[in-house]
Amino acid sequence: MQVSFGIIGASGYSGLELTRLVLAHSSASLKFATSDRWVGQTVASKTGLPCELAYVSVDAGLAAARGCDLVFLATPAESSLDLAPKLRAQGVRVVDLAGAFRLQDLSLYPTFYKFTHSAPALVKEAVYGLTELFRDAVRGQPFVSNPGCYATAAAMSVAPLLEAGLIDPSSVVINAASGVSGAGRKATEDYTFMEVDADFRAYKTLSHQHVPEIRQTLTRVAGVDVPLVFTPHLLPMKRGILSTTVARLKAGVTQAQVSGALADVYGRERLVGLRANADAVRIAEVVNTPKCLVGASTDGHHVVSISAIDNLLKGAASQAMQNANLMLGLDEVDGLV
């Protein structure tokens, strides 16, 4: 089967990675890619891969979308909020990489995304695509909301332990650190080399927009509310997220049970690497790959469970492709390995 994809927002860091994945897909063709800043330039010149297309405007992309099997939105949340309904109204399948449809509780958008949601019906239709956790819900669906980068890493480190009932849901503390590409292609002084190199700091402490997203995922998995604390940090490097979760073990829980719970969920996953302990998980091993590494250590009282992903791939583009493949009935890892 041959499928055709379109990409809206192809010049952001995630959009650029996604374009490369589409071009590497064995049964997909790229029908269009939009970019305001690169209109008229060739896709080949930016991706380094053979492609005869040039970037077009969003309007041109929308016009071309009808003929696509699926369109990826790699836009800011405000743009997705506007574009997703238009595409869905045309019957086009959509994977939205932005945050505009991730939260089922509409009351959270004003606080965390600074808008009142204008398409509440579509929120209900949106399937949350954290693939390894919710694969069956994604399969064959027409509209998937792709998880945030931190939300992917954080949830994958701890969801299996909550699902297995091994930890106290009220004790989850997550510290994460991300490379600079997580901030997008911004030219503000905060992200100049002079500000970022040789520094490390937290940001959006107790207020990051991925907090309710992680909570929604963990609560769904645990069956009870999981009121976690999440603190993101900025690393002096380009790509990658490490997420370190600390939680209290329920009485008597052993390392074997923890390792077993991770193996139950991830043991057969082609894009997850299980490690023997938390120290064996590192960012360098996942950068430029669609993989997630997970490993956990315990001391009888607490578990430290660590995950690592490439924020632009498993945290955005490659997970979007996993979901697109599932939506279309293709091999989930096509274009990825």
Distance, in Å, from the CA atom of 24 to the CA atom of 185, rounded to the nearest integer, reads 23
Query: Closest distance between its own copies and the C-beta of residue 71, in Å?
Result: 26
- 185 contacts its own copies (rule: CB under 8 A): yes
Distance, in Å, from the CA atom of 160 to the CA atom of 163, rounded to the nearest integer, reads 5
The count of chain residues that interact with its own copies, using the rule CB under 8 A, is: 63
Q: Which of 24, 39, 54, 173 binds its own copies (CB under 8 A)?
A: 173
DSSP letter assigned to residue 198: T
- Tokens encoding 211: 């907090």
Strands 201-202 and 229-234: antiparallel
Q: Which of 7, 177, 274, 324 binds its own copies (CB under 8 A)?
A: 177
Residues 229-268, mask of contacts with its own copies (x by CB under 8 A): x-x-x-xxxxxx-x-x-x----------------------
- 199 contacts its own copies (rule: CB under 8 A): yes
Q: Which of 138, 151, 283, 320 binds its own copies (CB under 8 A)?
A: 283
Q: Segment near its own copies (CB under 8 A), from 25-33, 52-60, 143-151, 226-234?
A: 226-234
Distances (CA, A) of 287 to 31, 199, 224, 335: 28, 20, 34, 16
- 44 contacts its own copies (rule: CB under 8 A): no
Q: Which of 121, 194, 251, 256 binds its own copies (CB under 8 A)?
A: 194
- Tokens encoding 144: 């998937």
- 181 contacts its own copies (rule: CB under 8 A): yes
Residues 61-120 binding its own copies (CB under 8 A) are none
- Tokens encoding 304: 């430290």
Strands 201-202 and 292-298: unpaired
According to DSSP, the residues that pair with 175 across neighbouring strands are: 231, 244
- Exposure on the CB side of residue 14, measured as CA atoms within 13 A: 32
- 188 contacts its own copies (rule: CB under 8 A): yes
Distance, in Å, from the CA atom of 287 to the CA atom of 181, rounded to the nearest integer, reads 12
Strands 292-298 and 28-34: unpaired
Q: Is 149 tagged catalytic?
A: yes
* Residues within the interface to its own copies (CB under 8 A): 13, 48, 171, 173, 175, 177, 180-181, 185-189, 191-207, 227, 229, 231, 233, 235-240, 242, 244, 246, 277-279, 281-285, 287-289, 291, 297-299, 301-302, 304, 306, 308
Catalytic (active-site) positions: 149
